[in-house]
């Protein structure tokens, strides 16, 4: 069982309704990989509008996307224009080799979102990061983006990410961390805390793999102590209770799943001893 030398993290709260002056992000955001990859010309826009409205109503703020995700950015832009929200933290990525192609892709992403300025631009899966980081710094200085960073996923390329974090000034990093994939506890999360880099967590449900593992199993009776009523809340509260985690970004195209995910923002979070207990219970299933 993993050792967890961490204190209880405070639950994230939104301290400003102005998206340009958000000081602290709610700890549950929204991913769009696969779930929003639908052509806006044929998609049920009211369905996706309902998902976004549920997200914002529950206190959500960060939405994460990428050019890699097909129609996701186009659908987001279409639905955001029809949605009501007080604050949005818009995060996307550059995912192409070469400086000029990167600039063109980022310009297209900003246009698709319809936001004018992005709150966060990552280099997706470290693709040609040495070329893109200087561009991102220039864009930040010019006010085109507010923050920049790099991402990995599926637990890959941690060693390279660690080197980048050690030598490059980043605002954000994104990587995989969940109750099964806990390698990030050893170096990435402590390093993010040490460097003051905000850590965003992808694949919080391991692409649905965590639910497959616990299918047919009930939550432990003591889950009520941290106000978990579903496995989704159990898995998300494990992640966001780590003090180095800024935000987790589960993705869904189901309204009831969105509402369930956002309930992880409510109530108590596990402390260090409870987190150890959660891991032990999960591993014996």
- Please report where in the chains the tokens 């599926």 appear, as a residue: 154
Burial state string for 188-224 with b = 16 or more CB within 10 A and e = fewer than 16: bbebbeeeebbbbbbbbbbbeebeebbeeeeeeeebe
As given in the structure block, the two tokens for residue 153 are 């996923």
DSSP 28: B
pLDDT < 70: residue spans in the chain = 1-23
Closest CA to 239 of 197, 210, 196: 210
Q: What would the pLDDT profile of 176-235 be if each residue is shown by its tens digit?
A: 999 999 999 999 999 999 999 999 999 999 999 999 999 999 999 999 999 999 999 999
Q: What would the pLDDT profile of 66-84 be if each residue is shown by its tens digit?
A: 999 999 999 999 999 998 8
**pLDDT score recorded for residue 23:** 57
**pLDDT score recorded for residue 11:** 32
DSSP H helical segments within the chain, as ranges? 45-57, 72-80, 99-113, 129-142, 158-167, 188-195, 209-214, 231-240, 255-262, 272-283
HSE-CB at 247 with a 13 A cutoff on CA atoms is: 27
């Amino acid at each position: 069982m993993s050792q967890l030398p961490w204190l209880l993290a405070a639950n994230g709260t939104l301290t400003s309704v102005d998206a340009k002056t958000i000081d602290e992000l709610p700890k549950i955001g929204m991913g769009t990989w696969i779930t929003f990859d639908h052509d806006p010309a044929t998609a049920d826009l009211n369905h996706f509008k309902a998902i976004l409205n549920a997200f914002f109503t529950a206190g959500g703020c960060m939405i994460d996307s990428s050019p890699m995700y097909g129609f996701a950015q186009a659908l987001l832009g279409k639905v955001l224009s029809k949605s009501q929200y007080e604050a949005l933290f818009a995060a996307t990525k550059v995912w192409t080799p070469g400086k000029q192609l990167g600039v063109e892709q980022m310009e297209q992403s900003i246009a698709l979102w319809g936001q004018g300025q992005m709150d966060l631009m990552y280099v997706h899966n470290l693709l040609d990061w040495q070329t893109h980081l200087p561009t991102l710094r220039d864009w930040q200085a010019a006010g085109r983006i507010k923050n920049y960073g790099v991402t990995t996923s599926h637990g890959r390329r941690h060693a390279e990410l660690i080197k980048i974090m050690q030598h490059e000034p980043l605002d954000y990093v994104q990587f995989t961390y969940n109750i099964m994939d806990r390698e990030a506890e050893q170096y990435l999360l402590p390093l993010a805390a040490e460097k003051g880099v905000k850590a965003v967590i992808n694949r919080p449900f391991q692409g649905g793999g965590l639910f497959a593992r616990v299918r047919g199993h009930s939550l432990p009776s003591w889950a009520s102590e941290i106000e978990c009523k579903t496995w989704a809340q159990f898995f998300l509260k494990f992640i966001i209770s780590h003090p180095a985690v800024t935000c987790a970004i589960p993705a869904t195209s189901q309204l009831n799943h969105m509402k369930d995910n956002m309930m992880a923002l409510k109530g108590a979070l596990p402390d260090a001893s409870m987190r150890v207990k959660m891991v032990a219970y999960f591993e014996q299933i």
